[in-house]
């Protein structure tokens, strides 16, 4: 019986298109994009993990936003110096983690958070507090670079692609000049001069040079869209250039922009980590994930937990942003087609048999 049903099921592209068209019937473009994004399992899992990490990281310490004070739940800060623990540490080391995730029924000591879950550094600072502060700084750098670089890249790419001519030539040659300089060198120069001003200023200056790849993609999208029929119709109707850019072309290029910004943000956290590791990023007394790895690189063989936890946050944040960007790319790309399930084909076949 199953074989007979499979023979009866149509597999032509036209009938699959009919199924997809029926799903999106009566929906706006934004609703279709949202539905596609919500169906991307990898992006949904990554979004949930990233949101959980952000909430967890920014709830640890006391925070004050304008006149609202949010109390944190962790008792130590990055300045506190509790007594350095040395009991029950392997290989006669000090400051070992008290976190235990192995339950008792598997032969472990049970789920325990302990006094210092991530351990302590050489002089007794709580490493959990240091890692959380570093994650806060890395997330802040990622957000600022994404906003600044995304805005500059979109503006330059849109102007260059829409007006073309000498404007395009000047802007693209300037972009080519910035691209020829290695990113790590630009970051090192900026970090050495402005790293002591704080993570916010460092991120702002890095964002001023992180827009080149995005501008090229936006330019190419504008060069294609400006030749479409709806743009010609807008010109005939008397629309100004500003209205054509913001009301007609930009909404159709938003998919490329959003995906590129997510990739820019995932690269930003790796750039900040590399700069801090080399000593050109965030400087003491502030901390970042890259600075923590650089500070304790000599202790890798004896106290590897000093690398596990910063590395976990770096990899988790970068991977989550990449998966979210992948889901947004699939959602905004009209050429992406969802696979039609066996049940959906059977349902369409039944409807056709009733109508026919």
pLDDT by residue (tens digit) across 49-106?
A: 999 999 999 988 887 777 777 788 888 888 888 877 776 677 777 777 877 776 666 6
In the CATH scheme, what architecture does the domain 42-75+132-332 have?
A: Orthogonal Bundle (1.10)
How far from the centroid of its chain's Cα atoms is residue 60's Cα? 22
The full set of domain ranges for the chain reads 42-75+132-332
Q: DSSP of 58-105, one letter per residue?
A: TTSS-EEETTEEE--S-S--TT--PPPP-TT-GGG-SS----B---GG
Total residues found in the chain within this entry: 356
Instruction: Record the pTM.
Output: 0.80
| Mean pLDDT value across residues 159-163 | 91
Output 156 or 7, whichever has higher pLDDT. Answer: 156
pLDDT at 37: 87
Cβ atoms < 10 Å from Cβ of 60: 19
- Contact assessment for residue 249 and residue 225, using Cβ atoms and an 8 Å cutoff: yes
């Amino acid at each position: 019986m199953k074989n007979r049903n499979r023979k009866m099921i149509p597999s032509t592209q036209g009938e699959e298109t009919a199924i997809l068209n029926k799903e999106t019937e009566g929906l706006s473009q934004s609703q279709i994009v949202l539905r596609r994004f919500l169906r991307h399992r990898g992006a949904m899992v990554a979004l949930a993990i990233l949101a959980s990490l952000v909430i967890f990281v920014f709830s640890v310490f006391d925070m004050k936003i304008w006149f609202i004070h949010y109390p944190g739940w962790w008792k130590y800060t990055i300045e506190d110096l509790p007594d350095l623990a040395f009991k029950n540490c392997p290989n006669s080391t000090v400051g070992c983690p008290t976190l235990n995730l192995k339950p008792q029924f598997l032969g472990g000591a049970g789920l325990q958070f302990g006094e210092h879950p991530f351990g302590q550094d050489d002089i007794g600072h709580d490493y959990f507090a240091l890692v959380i502060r570093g994650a806060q700084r890395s997330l802040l750098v990622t957000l600022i670079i994404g906003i600044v670089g995304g805005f500059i890249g979109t503006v330059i790419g849109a102007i260059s692609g829409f007006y073309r001519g000498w404007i395009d030539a000047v802007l693209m040659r300037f972009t080519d000049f910035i691209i020829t300089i290695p990113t790590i060198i630009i970051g090192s120069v900026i970090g050495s001069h402005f790293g002591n001003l704080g993570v916010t200023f460092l991120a702002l200056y890095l964002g001023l040079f992180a827009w080149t790849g995005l501008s090229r993609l936006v330019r190419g999208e504008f060069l294609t869209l400006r030749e479409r029929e709806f743009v010609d119709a807008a010109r005939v109707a008397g629309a100004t250039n500003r209205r054509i850019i913001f009301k007609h072309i930009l909404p159709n290029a938003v998919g490329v922009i959003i995906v590129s910004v997510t990739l820019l943000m995932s690269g930003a956290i790796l750039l900040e980590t590399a700069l801090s590791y080399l000593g050109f990023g965030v400087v003491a007394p502030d901390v970042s994930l890259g600075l923590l790895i650089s500070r304790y690189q000599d202790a890798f063989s004896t106290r590897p937990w000093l690398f596990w936890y910063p590395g976990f946050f770096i990899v988790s944040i970068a991977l989550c942003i990449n998966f979210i960007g992948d889901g947004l790319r699939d959602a905004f790309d009209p050429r992406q087609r969802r696979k039609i399930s066996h049940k959906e084909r059977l349902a369409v076949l039944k409807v056709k048999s009733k109508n026919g």
